[in-house]
């Protein structure tokens, strides 16, 4: 793929990424494919406006490291990422977790086209599937171990849209800023908080939490 970064810029991005990966307990060997994904996102973003964040250095922190801050709480198996946009957090997780199959759900056509190209170019076709539709239309009820959504809505809204995709005992991994006490109190029947985790995103001075919700049946 063509490179949108100068060699000096890529080197600076890799230094930041390497530092963050080590802090998250991940190996620096993941940096090259993550930067390949970032380069593809930057190229497409110039034409298709896939993300409002334009600065590649900001993308390293606010997209890559933010997405990967939850990796230690993701179990092997299947993960379905609804409203994934340009593939966040699904694609970074698929890159670093070879024990994971990720389904990427996105309604916007231009973003779905980007996802297919990213999956192809990054060699993820055996571990990532793109669904260009609404989460309610995905015909995989009860098939997934885990469900995630990065910026889709409240816990209740996420479960309304994608809860049917979880197996009994499956888990929602919802990335939030502050602890969403009101959302937790309003969880629908059949779901309960299993764990609430304070996340640390390297390079980001902002509150982050992962709410892990278990489906009982």
- Give me the CATH number covering residue 72: 3.40.50.150
Please give the DSSP secondary-structure letter assigned to residue 187.
P
Domain that holds residue 58: 7-215
100-129: per-residue pLDDT in tens? Answer: 999 999 999 999 999 999 999 999 999 999
Distances (CA, A) of 158 to 99, 125, 137: 25, 26, 14
148-179: per-residue pLDDT in tens? Answer: 998 789 999 999 999 999 999 999 999 999 99
Query: Is the predicted pLDDT of residue 1 greater than 60, yes or no?
Result: no
Tokens of 135: 């989460």
| Pair 140, 134: CB distance under 8 Å | no
Residue 1 lies in a domain: no
Residue 2 lies in a domain: no
Query: Number of structural domains, the chain?
Result: 1
pTM of the model: 0.95
What per-residue string of b and e applies to 174-184 under the rule 16 or more CB within 10 Å gives b?
Answer: bbbeeebeebb
């Amino acid at each position: 793929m063509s490179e949108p970064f100068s060699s000096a810029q890529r080197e600076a991005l890799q230094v930041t990424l390497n530092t963050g990966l080590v802090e998250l307990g991940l190996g620096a060997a993941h940096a090259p494919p993550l930067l390949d994904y970032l380069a593809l996102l930057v190229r497409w973003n110039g034409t298709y406006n896939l993300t409002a964040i334009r600065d590649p250095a900001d993308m390293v922190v606010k997209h890559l490291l933010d997405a990967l801050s939850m990796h230690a709480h993701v179990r092997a198996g299947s993960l379905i990422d609804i409203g994934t946009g340009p593939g966040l957090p699904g694609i970074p997780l698929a890159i670093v977790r070879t024990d994971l199959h990720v389904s990427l759900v996105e309604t916007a056509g231009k973003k779905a086209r980007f996802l297919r190209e990213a999956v192809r170019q990054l060699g993820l076709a055996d571990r990532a599937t793109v669904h260009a539709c609404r989460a309610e239309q995905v015909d995989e009820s009860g098939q997934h171990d885990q469900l995630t959504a990065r910026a889709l809505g409240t816990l209740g809204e996420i479960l309304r849209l994608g809860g049917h995709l979880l197996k009994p005992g499956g888990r929602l991994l919802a990335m939030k800023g502050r602890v969403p006490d009101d959302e937790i109190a309003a969880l629908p029947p059949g779901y309960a908080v299993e764990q609430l985790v304070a996340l640390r995103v390297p390079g980001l001075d902002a509150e982050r939490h992962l709410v892990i919700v278990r489906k009982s049946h």
